[in-house]
Amino acid sequence: MHGAVVLVPFDDLDPRILHPVAAGVLEVFGLPATVAEPLPSPLEGLEAARGQYRAAAFLPLLAARFPEARRAVGVTPVDLFEPGLNFVFGLAERPGRAAVVSVARLVHPDGRRFLARVMKETHHELGHTFGLDHCPEPTCVMRFSNSVEEVDAKGRFFCPRCRAKLEAALEVF
């Protein structure tokens, strides 16, 4: 039995990090979240020449694998890209049920810093699944991050405007 949101570790990602992430999803979205068994990153997404996976390859896999979940968010240790971009921190159906986050560029020797980054990117991609776009507010979790410094600079919460959009989307959720 899965919660409204299922967090899916990929490959050798330590699933224990996803328990505080699940607590953060409950705190910020008001949605119960559970942690699934690990899955292998989809080989069809691997671009061996660049040593990266295409982020979009994860989304249909997650949607199909967890049909009972309202949202399925994969968290993978592999580095992700999308055509035209050197890398992406994550990708989501906008709106939709599936999202993926890569921790490859979020790693930090301080475990709390690492966890904060994973939580922010998870909230950000989940926000996209509820139809939210990028936000210019410096501290809003929906602010676009092009570097890990920009991830550190923003918060894990929604600004009032994004919060209102999220609440409206959650009502019809």
Judged by CB under 5 A, does residue 7 bind Zn ion?
no
Nearest residue (CB) to Zn ion, 45 versus 90: 90
Cβ neighbours of residue 168 closer than 8 Å, sequence gap 6 or more: none
| Cα–Cα distance for residue pair 58/49, rounded to 1 Å | 19
Judged by CB under 5 A, does residue 140 bind Zn ion?
yes
Quote the least distance from Cβ 119 to Zn ion, whole Å.
Answer: 15
User: Of residues 135, 156, 165, 166, which one binds Zn ion by CB under 5 A?
Assistant: 135
Quote the least distance from Cβ 20 to Zn ion, whole Å.
Answer: 22
Judged by CB under 5 A, does residue 137 bind Zn ion?
yes
Q: Please pick, among 27, 68, 125, 171, the residue that the annotation labels catalytic.
A: 125
72: left (phi over 0), alpha (psi -120 to 50) or beta: beta
Quote the least distance from Cβ 125 to Zn ion, whole Å.
Answer: 7
Judged by CB under 5 A, does residue 126 bind Zn ion?
no
Stretch that binds Zn ion, among 18-26, 94-102, 128-136, 148-156 (CB under 5 A): 128-136
Nearest residue (CB) to Zn ion, 2 versus 52: 52
Other CB atoms closer than 10 Å to residue 48's CB: what's the count?
7
Residue 125 annotated as catalytic: yes
Judged by CB under 5 A, does residue 142 bind Zn ion?
yes
User: Of residues 80, 159, 165, 166, which one binds Zn ion by CB under 5 A?
Assistant: 159
Using alpha carbons, select from 121, 165, 164, 169 the residue that is nearest to residue 143.
121
Structure tokens at 75: 């968290």
Nearest residue (CB) to Zn ion, 38 versus 152: 152
Contacts with Zn ion, residue ranges (CB under 5 A): 135, 137, 140, 142, 159, 162
Catalytic residues: 125
